[in-house]
Structure formats: C-alpha cells, structure tokens
Structure 1
Amino acid sequence: MKNVIKQCQFYGILIFVFPLFFGACNKYLDVQSNKNQVVPKDLIDLQQILDGAQNINLNFCSIGEVSADDYFLKQRVFDGLSEEGRMFYTWENPVYNFNNDWAKAYIPVYNCNLVLDKLKGIERTALNKDDWNNVKGSALFYRASQYLSLVWTYSKAFNEKTSSADLGIVLRESPDFNMKSERSTVSQSYRVILNDLLEAAELLSEQAIHSMRPSKLAAYGALARTYLSMAKYDSAYYYADKVLSVKHELLDFNDATLIDVKSSYPLARFNKETLGYFELVTINAQIGINYANIDTNLYQSYRHDDLRKLAFFKVNADGYVSFKGSYSGSANLFGGLAVDEMFLIRSECLVRLGNVKSGLNDMDYLLTHRYKTGAYLASNFNNKDMALDFVLEERRKELLFRGLRWIDLKRLNQEGKQIYIKRVVNGKEYGLRPGDNRYAIPLPEDVIKTTGIPQNPV
C-alpha cells in the first residue's frame, strides 16, 4: 500500500478514476460517457478515456515558456507572485511540490497506459480493426507527445555525445502503481518517443474526425518537431514534408472573414491550420495575458505591414504589449501542431541541408499569408548563414507561446548560437548562459522524495 501511495504522488495524486476522465470531451466531440462505469471493458470505453480532453489534450508543460525569453514582468507583477513563481522567473531553481507541470503531464501518460493495458484483452478482428487501430495509435501518440513535452522541459538538449548519460524522464509503460519509477537517459527517452510516434503513424487514419483526436498527419508532425529538437534535420524535413504534401493550406491574415486582427482573440480555435490540438497547462501565472509583457525588441522586430503585429499583440494603456494570438481563440495557450510550424520546420531543414532557395520559398509562401497583400518582398539571401538567421527569426515570431521556445534555446545554443538571456528585477540582473544546467528545470521535490529518482544537477 505504501508503494501505491508513493506512485500516486508521482502521478499527481491520481485519486480520480475512470468516471472523471471525460469532463471536457463532450464540448468538442460527439461522444457520450457512461458515468456509472468504473472499469473500461471495450473499445468504446477506451476511446472515451482518450476523448477526455481535460486530461489528455490540455496538459502540455508551460514552465519552459515561463523560463524563456519572449516576455518580461513588471515589478509589481513580479512582487505579487509566490516565492516559487518568482524563483522560476529568475532561474533560481525553487524547491516546489504538487501541483505542477510534471504532475499534470503524467495524468495523460497514466490514462494512455491504462488504455494500452486494457487493449491487450480485446481481440483485433476484421470488424473492429479500424477502431482498435485508432485506440492504440491514439494512446501511443498522446503518450509520446507528453513525453516529448516533459523531456523538453526537464532534460538537457539531445546531444549525440552525452545523451546516453544525461538524465531523461520517467518512462512509464504500465498503469501499475507498484512499478518503481526510474529516470531514463535522454537517449532512451527520445527512443521511446520516436518508437511510439512511428507505430502511431502506422495505425492512425490520415485525417481525424476532429483535431482533438490524432491522425497520421499529426503523428508525422510530431515526428518532425521531435527530430528538429534532436537536430536531426534530414529526418525532420522528411516528416514535415509528408505533412505538407497532404495539408498545406494556411490562414490568410488579410481575409477578414477568417481573421479580425483587431479583435480580442483573432485566431479561432480549431482553425484550418490545426493538425492536432493541445493546450499548455494554465497553472503558471507568469505567462498569463494579464501579466506577461512581450519583449520590446521582439515586438519591434515585426514590420509595419506584418499583420501578425496586429493579430498577435495588444498594446495596453501603459504602453506595454501583451499576447493575444493563441490558436486556442482564447487566453489559453495553444501547444498543438499546426501547418505554419511544419512550413517553418521544412524551411529551416532545407536551408541547413543546403537547399537555400527551396527553404526560402517556403518562408515566402508563409509570410505572404501574414503580410498585407502586396507588401511582402520575397527574401533574397545567397548566404546560407544569413538565410538560416532569417528563418530562425521568423520561427520565433510565428510560434510565440506554443511551448517551443525553451527547447529552441537549448538546441540552438548547443549548435553555437550563444544566446544569453537575462532579466532585471529590482535593479539586479539575472542571467542564463548557454549550456547552463538550469536549462533542465528541476523536478518537483515531492517526486524526488517519494520515488528516490535523482534530481537534475544544479
């Protein structure tokens, strides 16, 4: 019993059971759950677990965005944070406990493992094979997606020379609470993520009935962003290209029937660019729209005719700027997969692989949909390094607050970009240098104490 309690604490105090998994799914999908059912027994039950959006789709880690460099806090806002919140903002490695990103992320991991475990008892037949494949593929996709969010947050960037020794995440492959929790290596973490996604891609249909459910294209998109974060640019290109060969339609920010750039939240939830819908967890107040102010230099880097400057940002009465451009259509931050990200991945990879012209063609296609009609001038860089800098700048400007900047900082610094980020609080400068151990955010203290797994190095 003591071991069960410890593992429950690791998972985030999982005292809710099957009936509570379904809170949000009916809002998005035409699915009904049987509230009287406690133990899942068939494919319908398992699919309903995976359709529980609140516990499956809305748990991507956001503490990396808290630690990244796209925003700053005014002094009075900083002063109003908890001690833990202030220390995260200044990269001082707080000692913290439940409730947190780690606990939130392992809820869908548990649910997916429960589904995969119960699926072993359901025979795959000619009549049920499509539903069976979708359940297994979805569970693998969701588990891998959460593992990716976790390893980006709590581990160092993938490095061929050190990844077999660097601390990864806890890889749970069973819902059994009595199984001991152990930290894998970064290499092992990525291996499991890639294996899950590759198998999911084989099982899932090309298009899902709703973007809250995964598809083959979403799995390809997740593979593209996984390989990009590993700096494996040929593989990242391959999977981004597989997505874009089927789905490449972008939102035109000039189309007032789709986007009112002056509205409070111009970009609709489930818009046509969405490949797979996720949101970042909302427990980290620092990046809330009422608190976070966009980095001034970043905001000024948008040109006057760039419609993202209107669609993504609100200029407040105090002159500071806040973010409003989430693909959630609300204050919640979108962390899912979208077509624009695939163009940016393919463009970056093409440039890195030496095909500068094709890479810039992708950028031109994206940016003509973002600038006022006729205002965008095609990019013209003969120098590979200049072209890459241009693509990376646009990547940052396009993908704000999607849970991507923290891992981008890690991988780019590992390649020699030497990005030094800093914050000034009460006249004191706090900084984070490339390669600093604090790029691997510390694990919650209650997890360390209850499981005995090692903490990240200071």
Structure 2
Amino acid sequence: MKKILYCIFSVFILLSLASCKDFLEVKPKGVIIPEKLSDYESLLNSLTMTQTFPSTLLYCTDDYYGEYSPTDRSVLANAYFWRQELDINDQVSSVIWGQLYRVIYDANVIVKNAMNAKEASEQKKKEVLGEALLVRSDAYFNLLTAFAKAYDPATAAVNPGLPLVTSNDVTEVAPQRSRLKATMDTIINNTLRAVDYLPVSNINRYRGTKAAAQGFLARVYLYTGDYTNAAKYANLALKADHQLIDYNKISNKSGIPISDLNPEILWQRACEEFLIPAGMLYSDELKTYFNTTDLRYTYLTSNNVKGITRATSPGRPNYGITFQELYLIVAEAAARNGEPGTAMDLVNKIRAVRIKAAAYQPLTANNPDVALALVLNERRRELAYSGVRWMDMKRLDKEGRMSEVTRVDKKTGDVLAFLKPHSNTYTFQIPVRVRNFNPKMEIN
C-alpha cells in the first residue's frame, strides 16, 4: 500500500458527524459519502469543524506563565519551553498536525462533493462550499503559524510551507511540502473564493459569512505584512452589524452575552480544551500592560479558579475573528502608513469602552512610530489569550520588535528556557510520527 497521508485522517461516517478522538492510518472500507446538503451542514456544525484553534499555541506565548518542571516532556510543556519537538511520542497522532489535517480532510469531503448534493439550490450549495473553503483555510493558517517560518515575501518562495492535501483518498502518496508562498497563496485564494460564495448572515457565529471570510483575510494579510489589503478587508468586514460592549455598564463577566449573542464576535472558533484558558496564568510581563483603571484585567481574572477567563463571553472563549481585532488591524495599517491620528482614533474607540469612565483619557501620538507602539500595546491588551499572540510574536520578531523571552522559576529565580530573537525555535519541527511515515518529508 502507498504511504498514508500522515496518519491524520479520521473516519467520516454519515451517522456520526460529531467529534471523534481516533485518527486512523487507513480509511476504512464502506465509509459513506453523504448525498444531501444537510449532511454537509451537519459536518460544518461538528466539533471537528468548529474547534480549529489548537490550544497548544497559547502555551508558547509570552502571555502565559506556567508551572512546568524542566523534566516534563508533555506536549504542553514542550510548547511552553519552546522545544522544537512538540510530539516525542511517535505512537500517537500529533496534537496540532493531526487535529488540523483532520479538519482539512473533512473540509475536503465538502469541497469535493457539496456541489453534487441533492435537495438543495445551487446558491445554497455554494454557501456550504464557501464555508468549507474558509474552515480549511483557517486550519492551514494555524498549521503555518506552528510549523513554518514567519512569512517574509523575500524568502517565501524558498522556505518550506505545508503539504497541500486536496484528496480524501488516504491511500494516495502524501504530497511533499509546498513552498511557503504557495501555501499562503492557497489560503488567500481559497478564502477569496469563499467570500464570493458565503452568505451575508448564517444560523450562528460558528458558521461562516462573507464578513467572517473578509475578517479572516485581514488577519492573514496582516501576518504577511500586506497592510494595504489587511486594512481593506478589515474595513469591509467592519461593515457587518456589530457593537463594542462598554465594560463600564456591566457589573461582572456574567454581564457579557454568551458567544452566539455577543455583538463583538464576528466568527466564533473554539479549541479542543473546553476550560482553556481558565487555570492559565498571566505572565508578569503581560500584567505590566494593564493598570487599575483597565476593566479588561478585572474581567479577565474574575473567576473562582486559579488563572484567567477571557471575557469574550461566559461560555467558551473565542479564537476566531472579533470586531476589536479588525479595528486594531486597521489602526496598525494606518500607523504603518504614516497616519497616526487615524490609528489613535481607532485605538481610542476600543479604550473608551474598556477603561473606567472616570479615568479615561484618549491616547495621542504625533508620529507614526509612537502610534505603532501604542497600537501594538493595545493589541497585546485587547487580544490577550485570543489565539493571535504566537502569530504576532513571529511576525514582530521578523521585524526585530521582539526581545528575548524567558521562562523563569518564580520560586528559585532560575531561568529555565529562553526564546531569543530570530531563533529557529519560533518554528516547531514537523512531528516525528509524520517524519517516520514520510522519510522524504522536508524538515525545518
């Protein structure tokens, strides 16, 4: 039998379109390909297709302080200490690689078959196809932030990206890694196609919309350094109906609407761990970004467990696109384009509903460099634990804006690990299990 596609693909069974923990090495015989569009919609509603953010990427950021022993070789400890080998157990599927290529596999089922589905209009078929394209792009993008170098147009045509899997046949030869530019072009082109197909609104915030795809494009373009397109698509997405919640008008975190009713959320994405980030600790450095007048810190820590609870809603945290992120993308683009006034106006739009009313003072900047620094600081505060910090660390390190990050034992003061600027440890290694099944796979 030919090489399997990385041991990553799950069973797709019509009778059970929900999450499954098993990753099989061979696609079993008799797997049913749905015929009705409603079956593909059920797949879009599954945990697999909504849990597209790998929580491991929270643990490697400078937002987080962990209490791991240096001898701990668990995946989360490996991420926390920036060990390039996240998965040292070659007997199980990689937590990030396996999780996200499973999403890609299920998305491919829809991409290849939705337009042939029965009992649905052509328009509805295109909408479902668009959702699958968007979810697949999101999975590829999260994989890139883990397993590829930061995007640099000067080297993207040379640096390795990801294997671009388009088939559902796991008996086919595994594709080799494409170049980083080819991977990013695929993500962007598929999402642009999704924008054309997606509806203006959908049944809930987990399901894709035209604005959700535009917002995702803004995030992707920001990562690539294309600030013109980042601002363009962020502004398009901001035309969708939304509202920023004034933290001065709620007494505690329970006053924030649940995710599906939260007017700040454009596209809801979850991770595989329900309680993340409850129990996770702020790093001392992150704490310095907040003062006593900032209501975000109050609500981020207003729980009865050790750690934090992000105040996106009383329910599951969101790692998808929020309108605050979009405002900050436009603000960053403005600052980089020499428009400090515009940048500060957008930052202050957020701060006005986050700072205690009696203490609020708008931020000002007379030059683009100061404006950019203030935007990046605000991004750090507003988007803490939202799933974008590792992406930000990589792109800012490429620009020389990241200082050394350390992991310190607070009891002894010992430095346990460090992440130096421009270090190769900003890129995790292709999992050992994948390499074992694909010995010709290019490694980082």
TM-score normalised over the length of structure 1:
0.86
Alpha-carbon distance between aligned partners in 2 of 1:165 and 1:328, rounded to the nearest angstrom: 42
Aligned pair 1:22/2:18, yes or no? yes
Distance 1:445 1:18 in 2: 32
Give 1:118 shift. Answer: 1.3
1:248-327 matches, within 5 Å, as 248-256=242-250, 260-261=252-253, 268-270=258-260, 271-282=262-273, 288-290=277-279, 292-314=280-302, 322-327=307-312
1:66 aligns with 2:59: yes
- Between the aligned partners of 2:170 and 2:148, the Cα distance in structure 1 is 24
Kindly tell me: are residues 84 and 113 of structure 1, through their superposed partners in 2, closer, same or farther at Cα, counting changes over 3 Å? closer
The answer on whether the counterparts of 2:319 and 2:387 sit within 8 Å (CA) in structure 1 is: yes
Deviation at 1:233, TM superposition (A): 0.4
Match of 1:28 in 2: none
* CA RMSD in angstroms, aligned pairs only: 2.6
1:433 alignment partner in structure 2: 420
Q: How does 1:152-231 map to 2 (within 5 A)?
A: 152-181=145-174, 182-231=176-225
The corresponding residue for 1:33 is none
CA distance in 1, matches of 2:44, 2:66: 37
The separation in 1 between residues aligned to 2:304 and 2:117, in whole angstroms, is: 56
CA change 1:206–1:361 in 2 (3 A) is same
Identity of aligned residues (%): 26
Residue number in structure 2 paired with 1:27: none
Matches within 5 A, 1:361-440: 361-425=345-409, 427-440=414-427
Equivalent-residue separation in structure 1 for 2:61 and 2:155 (angstroms): 24
Give the deviation of 1:78 after TM superposition.
3.5
- Of the three residues 302, 312, 318, the one matched with 1:334 is 318
The Cα of 1:186 is off from its aligned counterpart by 1.1
Residue of structure 2 equivalent to 1:10: 8
Write the distance in 1 (CA, Å) between the matches of 2:115 and 2:37. 11
Structure-2 residue corresponding to 1:87: 78
Alpha-carbon contact 1:440-1:456 (below 8 Å) kept: no
Distance 1:200 1:441, change over 3 A: same
Query: Is 1:132 equivalent to 2:125 in the alignment?
Result: yes
Distance 2:37 2:102 in 1: 20
The change in CA–CA distance for 1:337 and 1:359 in structure 2 (over 3 A counts) is same
- Does 2:429 align with 1:442? yes
Measured after TM superposition, the shift of residue 248 of structure 1 is: 4.3
1:374, CA displacement in angstroms?
Answer: 4.0
Once the two structures are superposed, the pairs formed by residues 40-79 of structure 1 within 5 Å of their partners are 40-52=34-46, 54-74=47-67, 77-78=68-69
CA distance in 2, matches of 1:84, 1:145: 22
Structure 2: state its 5+ residue gaps: 21-30
* Contact persistence 1:247–1:339 (CA under 8 A): no
**Displacement, 1:136?**
0.9
Q: Deviations over 1:123-158 (max 9, x none)?
A: 8x9x71221111111111111111111111111111
SS at match of 2:359: coil
Query: Once the 2 structures are TM-superposed, how far is the Cα of residue 234 of structure 1 from its aligned partner?
Result: 0.5
CA contact (8 A) 1:236 1:349 kept: yes
1:122 offset after TM fit, Å?
4.3
Q: For 1:430, what is the secondary structure of its paired residue? A: strand
Q: 1:353–1:305: structure 2 CA closer, same or farther, 3 Å change rule?
A: same
Q: 1:253 to 1:167 in 2, by over 3 A?
A: same
Please state how far the C-alpha of 1:254 moved relative to its aligned partner: 1.7
The one-letter code matched in structure 1 to 2:18 is F
TM-score (norm: length of structure 2): 0.89
Give the whole-Å Cα distance in 1 for the aligned partners of 2:443 and 2:318. 28
Matching residue's letter, 1:268: I
Structure 1 gap ranges (5+): 25-36
Question: Whole-Å Cα distance in 1 between the matches of residues 167 and 74 of structure 2?
Answer: 36
Between the aligned partners of 1:305 and 1:267, the Cα distance in structure 2 is 22
